[in-house]
Amino acid sequence: MKKYFSIWNIIGIIVVLIGSLFYIFSHQITKTEIVNSEIVNDNSTKSKKVVLKLYFANKDATGFIVEKRNITVYDNDNLYQIAINELIKGPKQIGKPILSQKVPTPTVFISERTAYVDLPSSYAKLGLGTRGETILIYGIANTIFGQGSIDEIRFLVSGRPARTLGHISLVEPIRRSR
């Protein structure tokens, strides 16, 4: 009968345990606290007119068409969420929508100069292909960048950091080009 507790087996088990512990402690995911600014239309707050820059797909989905919309916002409003809500409505002139009214609306959270776009799980099942995902992700990103002082955008799917939407890597944030 073979020896199961030979010196080499014991050394192997120790090496595996040390390697596992090293992996666990060096790859801990840090929790990021995200603050949600809900849309509040309280008449006691001040309102102002803003111009939203919305990015819709051109007719063959190879680029973007920018549409400007004048809207009224209040002090407590999340301008980035309002912009996403306007994207859902689709273009009023030329262009093609990048977000469908048939799936739930993505939610935008802001923490300092980073926007977090939480896509519902149904977005991972749309089967848009590489071109469709590129138009979706960068249409949302360009729209958010067009509204203010956001430096980077991180995408989440169902509240968790997204690695991909199918074809496009979302591991790294999308940063504003300078």
pLDDT at 31: 44
DSSP letter at 30? P
Helix (H), strand (E) at residue 57: strand 47-57
Q: Are 140 and 117 in contact (CB under 8 A)?
A: yes
H or E segment and range at residue 51: strand 47-57
Q: How far is CA 159 from CA 34, 68, 162, in A?
A: 10, 30, 9
pLDDT of residue 37: 46
Amino acid at 9: N
> Which sequence spans correspond to the domains of the chain?
47-175
Give the whole-angstrom CA distance, residue 155 versus residue 115: 8
Q: What is the pLDDT of residue 32?
A: 43
- List, run by run, the mean pLDDT of 10-residue segments along the chain (178 residues): 71 80 63 46 73 92 92 90 93 87 89 93 79 91 91 92 85 86
Q: How high is the pLDDT of residue 26?
A: 67
Q: DSSP label at 154?
A: E
9 sits in which H/E element: helix 7-26
